[in-house]
Amino acid sequence: MKALLEMDGETVFDGSRIEEPHLSDAALAAFVGVYRSTELDVTYNLSIDKGSLMLRNSLNPPLRLIPIARDEFESDDLGTLVFHRDATHRVSRLSVFSGSVRDVSFEKTN
């Protein structure tokens, strides 16, 4: 799909829309696990539920994470999560970006 965005008579964007990634349960399995932030003293449990990656912690209701790019997901309530891989290409940690919060690191513990 092509998109054109004009503001005040000036072209701001003219290009193709990037399609939202659709990941299989097998692809989502790479992100499943327990992630811990020592900075925030918070633990996130990520699992697959009905074809979606879900984030749970003890304080809030589960959040559905929407894939937006390779190793990146977003949630309206949490912000953007960027997953990082180690030298063997396994997911080893994630970073959270939300509003003024930038790059809060969570290490994968299992």
Residue 87 has pLDDT above 80, yes or no: yes
**Cβ atoms within 10 Å, residue 31:** 22
CATH 2.40.128.50 fits 24-108, yes or no: yes
Domain ranges of the chain: 24-108
Q: Give yes or no for a contact between 106 and 82, defined as CB atoms under 8 angstroms apart.
A: no
pLDDT recorded at residue 22: 84
Residue 18 has pLDDT above 70, yes or no: no
Tens-digit pLDDT profile for residues 60-81: 899 999 999 999 999 988 999 9
pLDDT recorded at residue 13: 77
pTM comes to 0.80
pLDDT recorded at residue 58: 85
> Any residues with CB less than 8 A from the CB of 47 and at least 6 apart, and which?
32, 53, 54, 56
